[in-house]
Structure 1
């Protein structure tokens, strides 16, 4: 394992929950580091203790400015500066890119010890399409700004990945169901790599209903599948036949959701039709 590192800035991915996920190379860089730039020293101190290390830490976070960047770049010209986030890969939904850009402009070497990332892990176990995806971080808290972004993303033929908090999850899912369509496939992943790791899948409408009065704990990755190709050739007879077939296998709600996903139709409208068909027959 490499123990001597050239002066520069090293982007070091840290565990997103389970400390056993720290890589050997990440540990070696942290051991060699002259300075560790951190979001929260209390969080990083736990990882350093796990590795048996005691290192000088400097804050670098959303409120850091040009002076903090200049200080870190000056230090990286002479020694090893490790940049870490509280969890996962730095620069993913955090301000580290400004430091990297400034370092490159100053001719400072920038390298990385890749590793854990919540968005990629969640996508890999969600069952949603992985061939094209867009990571969008946290949505705005204000309703109009959030609606504008979701409307912009609506036609994209890609899986959408967001970070979200428990208290906001229900409202966000409700907005997505309204603006993107309640039949869109989605998944909610939380507590990744931890003991209570959980991935809940379903349509946006179903998940919005499930989390309307439920506030899950932990950091959350929210994923939305791409829009379904609408079948222009689907007739009313085709839709009714699909509903009847689905009702033979599934409860009414799930049958309506399956057919809605297949034809790109509104799940609630199909639920009404499925209920009528079931009572008829």
Structure 2
């Protein structure tokens, strides 16, 4: 009991201390936001690492978003992000050890060519931030061909940091100090680069001239693949009516990986299992941080 608790507490301390060298990857971040951008990237690596070491296709959170037959591929996606060898035998008790190793070895070398940019990149082929669609972020390529993920300013205004969810500040608490909905474990409610990965060419569909994991946009229900509810509905309907959907539709929807990872991480962090999302509104219950526009 004590050993497990010590490992658990140490893991929480390690999360913001991965020490990854990201200076060559993160670009154009305005003063005052450097640490938030750095934390966002390292949090993603830490969460992908947890999913990698705690992965199981024999649990409700997996079945909610993916078919059983695609489990090996799903696990390898997270292992690629976390820079964990495909055949490594790991379990959740080794989480802190793996994080410590990640601080020494860094990211997968395939990420060396990637740019993570604040806002529109001046050399990007697309300039979508603050445009008509006003996305939270988008993927593009630079004129040089280098891949680039642009995180739009809107995302920094709209979403809290992981540390703010886990340890809610004063603005995320009510008059009695209780966390507001969407903050702290008690406030979370009850719901909840990859082309050489084995079977990528078998499972991932063509978009134009290339295979890519993208965002589901129809034409069948649901109307989109964003959020835990629509990702769950997509998995259920594409399993029940495969003739109406592209093959392996769930693993072709980017947000399915996101919501599955969030479910795994917060179940581990909060020590409880979350039920399946019941409406699209489940994705919007948390109030945005009161940061200036």
Higher relative contact order structure (alpha carbons within 8 Å, sequence separation ≥ 6): 2
Query: What TM-score range do you get, normalising by the shorter chain?
Result: under 0.3
More strand by share: 1
Question: If you compute each CA radius of gyration, which structure gives the higher value, 1 or 2?
Answer: 1
More helix by share: 2
The two structures have a TM-score, normalised by structure 2, of: 0.24
